[in-house]
Amino acid sequence: MAFISFLGRVLFVSVFILSAYQEFNEFGVDGGPAAKSLKPKFNVFSKHVITHTGFQVPHVEMKLLVLGAIIMKGLGSLLFIFGSSLGAFILLLHQAIAAPILYDFYNYDADKKEFAQLFVKFTQSLALLGALLFFIGMKNSMPRRSPKKKAPKAKTN
């Protein structure tokens, strides 16, 4: 049973591992294509935050954001494979931050092709987020095993 659970975690996390591996291979000096495609989306997201909340989003280099995403996916995946809730929380945090920025379907009209494509990717990202929440919930609902106490031996005189 433990092996099947381990295998399931490995298969689930493979999405994050392969994504981090691809971004790492293309990273280069400037953050690679991931940084180039993230910059306009992050700028639009920053404008939304300023408009709706009034908070100014600090300037961040895109290569640092991509590097942070690679580290979060890699570390979170490694911890998650071995059953750690911390790994699930790291991946959950990554999904919660990255999904609204990367899959900005809300910037398009519903009848546009881009809206449908981004909305599908966003809902897939929500499914991963839900699976992580399920894992955390199940992990916290299981009682911890306590070592079995030996029955005290009867004294003989």
Kindly report, residue by residue over 17-49, the tens digit of the pLDDT.
Answer: 988 888 888 888 888 888 898 899 999 989 988
User: What confidence tier does 70 reach under pLDDT thresholds 50, 70, 90?
Assistant: very high
Question: 18 to each of 24, 70, 73, how far by Cα in Å?
Answer: 10, 10, 9
Average pLDDT, the chain: 87
pLDDT at 93: 95
Reported pTM: 0.80
pLDDT digits (tens, 9 = 90+) for 113-128: 999 999 999 999 999 9
- Asked whether the beta carbons of 67 and 96 are under 8 A apart, the reply is no
**Predicted local distance difference test score (pLDDT) of residue 147:** 66
E strand or H helix at 59, and its extent?
none
The pLDDT, as a whole number, for residue 157 is 64
